[in-house]
Structure 1
């Protein structure tokens, strides 16, 4: 049971590592594409990998995948639109507010949460704030990204339930398909032009294969054994990874405030594992597709 939890944490940390690399690529893609185009292209690529697993699935799995896909579509849309107006670091901070929103919401539903979850969530938010807050005034992008945090709150909450009932690969595939279709419909409102000569093929391929298909599948596997509040705290490592990628590829350096923030986030993820919820019997399932 302990081993299953550790493997689940490994899956979630790998997904967070890859997600931390996406901000630069999305920003780069926004130079030539609209938000709906980016999400339509990346999730269409992601869907291709899961098409064989969608055949013969029952109606219950499709409804579960459609529900999760709807939350995921709203989350990625609001985040991508927000990045048009706000900085990547501020976007990372606002998005991570779901770390606090999720346990508060689940507490309202009656779930008893252990103290490490609350301490970890508080330290994580403080750390992300020190790491990411750039002191500029609020803007329209901040409002859009606040919607991202709310959508991810409900997405992670519902993911915990559905991953106990359905296999990860087809459940992920339905989500990818849902986001791709939703994003395609959104482009009807944007009415964009498609410039295939200046199309960011490499960025879209990475966003589709690694940051979408692989990461959502890893999340589905991880949340089989890791409760949603702990998963949310693990995801706060995303801006730490993002800062590391920015340092390597863009030459951006963290000051003392940013380094303190990164350390607080790491400490938060460790504290959240001290005395967290024990996985229920239905959470410890064979890790098979």
Structure 2
């Protein structure tokens, strides 16, 4: 597969994830946050495990541990993001969630001892400025905005963890284990906090099908394929545009009013994402590969 096709795959994922925010909004009409999470991860995990059914006898303990750790981070991130959407707008949730990419270099510094560059520090300042402008219509953060920022932290941690654990591993196996872990974690939350849907609409059912098949299973599959030939840096830049598509779709489908502070703040966040992702992630990936090979 060519790098151009890999970038096309990432673009498709960004569009699907952007529309996924709208699907979650539709699904919340009938289902609670944890019901959606259970449906999302259980359905996508089943599809992911079907892909590796012939590899079940070759999965070792270390691979399972890596996949479970990734799954815990991924579940917390999605739980915060989904619950945040019940408390804030699609636009705010999408942009604040995307800001997690800016945090990746700092996690890499603590994990891989790679010091952030001046460019990365500048992008962090731009990101903080964007967040401030984005929420300038309120004197303080709403709970939904705060949860969306928490989601960004865990997405960043998951990205760094996945970068480490997928080296010298079958990414399809790691993906199946992490989705399975998310499904198992969502089960007790479903039992504790869900009272069952009072009414189920056709739109909500279709939204859940979209979330399971396209926004989770297909997107993770395409992203894995793309990163086999394209750098993490270029893929991350393209994937981060999901927030832009989310705002576009929220305006077209949900008729959500886009204020000027959302446009300006979102633009600052997108610029910061592009700046940080085009800096030194290739160097980090190269050094990480050497360290893991030495460890093995």
- TM class, shorter-chain normalised? 0.7 to 0.9
RMSD: 3.2
Say if 2:146 is the partner of 1:178.
no
Provide TM-score, normalisation by structure 1: 0.80
- Say if 1:9 and 1:226, in contact at 8 Å, map to a contact too: no
The answer for the alignment partner of 1:280 in structure 2 is 286
| Alpha-carbon distance in 2 for matches of 1:7, 1:120 | 28
After TM superposition, the structure 1 = structure 2 runs for residues 227-246 of structure 1, keeping only pairs within 5 Å, are 227=232, 233-246=237-250
TM-aligned CA distance change 1:34 to 1:105, over 3 Å = same
The answer for the alignment partner of 2:72 in structure 1 is 70
TM-aligned CA distance change 1:150 to 1:158, over 3 Å = same
1:190 shift after superposition: 1.2
The answer for the alignment partner of 2:23 in structure 1 is 25
- Say if 1:75 and 1:148, in contact at 8 Å, map to a contact too: yes
TM-aligned CA distance change 1:119 to 1:12, over 3 Å = farther
The answer for the alignment partner of 1:58 in structure 2 is 59
1:184 shift after superposition: 1.6
* 1:90-128 deviation line (CA, Å, top 9, x unaligned): 222332332332222322442134444444555455556
The answer for the alignment partner of 1:167 in structure 2 is 170
TM-aligned CA distance change 1:91 to 1:259, over 3 Å = closer
TM-aligned CA distance change 1:78 to 1:11, over 3 Å = same
- Say if 1:99 and 1:121, in contact at 8 Å, map to a contact too: no
Say if 2:205 is the partner of 1:204.
no
User: Aligned to 1:155, what secondary structure does the other structure show?
Assistant: helix
The answer for the alignment partner of 1:190 in structure 2 is 193
Unaligned runs of 5+ in 2: 291-296
- Say if 1:127 and 1:264, in contact at 8 Å, map to a contact too: yes
1:254 shift after superposition: 4.5
Say if 2:78 is the partner of 1:80.
no
TM-aligned CA distance change 1:231 to 1:48, over 3 Å = same
1:256 shift after superposition: 5.4
Provide TM-score, normalisation by structure 2: 0.78
| Alpha-carbon distance in 2 for matches of 1:139, 1:262 | 17
| Alpha-carbon distance in 1 for matches of 2:120, 2:27 | 36
User: Aligned to 1:50, what secondary structure does the other structure show?
Assistant: helix
Moved more, 80-89 or 190-199: 190-199
In proportion to residue count, which structure has more helix?
Answer: 2
Unaligned runs of 5+ in 1: 285-289
User: Aligned to 1:250, what secondary structure does the other structure show?
Assistant: coil
- Say if 1:8 and 1:223, in contact at 8 Å, map to a contact too: yes
* 1:131-180 deviation line (CA, Å, top 9, x unaligned): x5462342332333333122112101101111222122222111221111
- Say if 1:172 and 1:213, in contact at 8 Å, map to a contact too: no
- Say if 1:129 and 1:261, in contact at 8 Å, map to a contact too: yes
TM-aligned CA distance change 1:196 to 1:43, over 3 Å = farther
Say if 2:91 is the partner of 1:89.
yes
Q: How many correspondences in the alignment?
A: 279
TM-aligned CA distance change 1:270 to 1:99, over 3 Å = closer
TM-aligned CA distance change 1:46 to 1:258, over 3 Å = same
1:187 shift after superposition: 0.6
